[in-house]
Amino acid sequence: MRRQNQTSDASRSSSLRRAGPIQWRAGQGWLILAGGGSWRENETGDVDAAALGWADLDRPLALLPTAGMSTREAEDLLDYYVDLGGPHGYVVPIFDAASAQLMENCRLLEEAGLIYVADGPDTLTLVRALRESPALRAMARAFEEAAVIFGMGAGAAALGAWVEDPGTQDRAEPGLGWLPNVIVTPRFEGSESAHRLRHLLDLKPNCLGLGVPEQTALGLGPAGEVENVGPGQATAVVSGLEVET
């Protein structure tokens, strides 16, 4: 499915999984949309355990810090996953569109069994670096071979059809399109979050809104499974109505 000005590699895929109104890219792996939270404060344990349960632990974990996670934080997060029983991994140094072109970075992504798209303050940098890039195509090939794609916070938002442009209230920017009819809002809690999501839906009325609270994730499986993970509940927003998934 293609939306106006939505030309990412993912949105051009002719094969989609569907559960109710939610559509996502077809592959043999799980797609995880996590609302955020601090792993250091034990806020993401349920989500992290689910990701490892769905991942191929014989393949490494690749971590993308592109939304602004520091290298030190990324390395500490990799150590945390090893302590949980996960595989060893590496930081994939993609920070801009140029580094998303590098074949070594693409190889690191394609070989991974779990690709963790980390949270950070800059969702726009993330989508602008990866959109229509060789790195995004490498992620798609890994997903087709059963890798888990795990978007945390900004990483979850980036996987949707459109993302908020904090520089203006009058436009949205194309996301990576792995959910070609869905706008993902992490840290979804309270009226302010709902207002922001509804504003984006006013700009893109053909889309579904998906609000995901912190400490919570929505897992989308290769056979059309939909699993809510964590203490919160993901919420679908359609035409101004909120419906728990």
Residue 186 near residue 199, CB atoms below 8 Å? no
- Angstrom distance (rounded) from CA 26 to CA 8: 15
Domains present along the chain, CATH in parentheses: 23-244 (3.40.50.880)
**For the chain, what percent of residues have pLDDT higher than 70?**
91
Q: Report DSSP state, residue 160.
A: B
- Alpha-carbon distance of 184 to 159, in angstroms, equals 8
The CA-based angle 205-67-10, given to 5 degrees, is: 50
Task: Indicate whether 2 pLDDT > 60.
Answer: no
> Would strands 217-220 and 114-117 be described as parallel, antiparallel, or unpaired?
unpaired
Q: Residue range 92-99: average pLDDT?
A: 98
Residue 7, pLDDT > 90, answer no
Q: Which residue has the higher pLDDT, 7 or 61?
A: 61
Residues 74-92 have a mean pLDDT of 98
Tell me the three state secondary structure of residue 199. helix
Of 101-105, 189-193, 222-226, the poorest mean pLDDT is in 189-193
pTM of the predicted model, to two decimals? 0.91
Supply the pLDDT for residue 239: 58
Q: What is the pLDDT of residue 138?
A: 98
The rounded distance, in Å, linking the Cα atoms of 171 and 191 is 21
Residue 243 has a pLDDT of 54
b/e 158-170 (16+ beta carbons within 10 angstroms → b): bbbbbbbeeeeee
Asked if 37 and 214 count as a contact pair (C-beta separation under 8 A), the reply is yes
Residues in the chain: 245
Q: Using pLDDT thresholds of 50, 70 and 90, give the confidence band for residue 11.
A: very low
Query: In Å, how far are 62, 76, 84 from 91, measured between CA atoms?
Result: 6, 11, 18
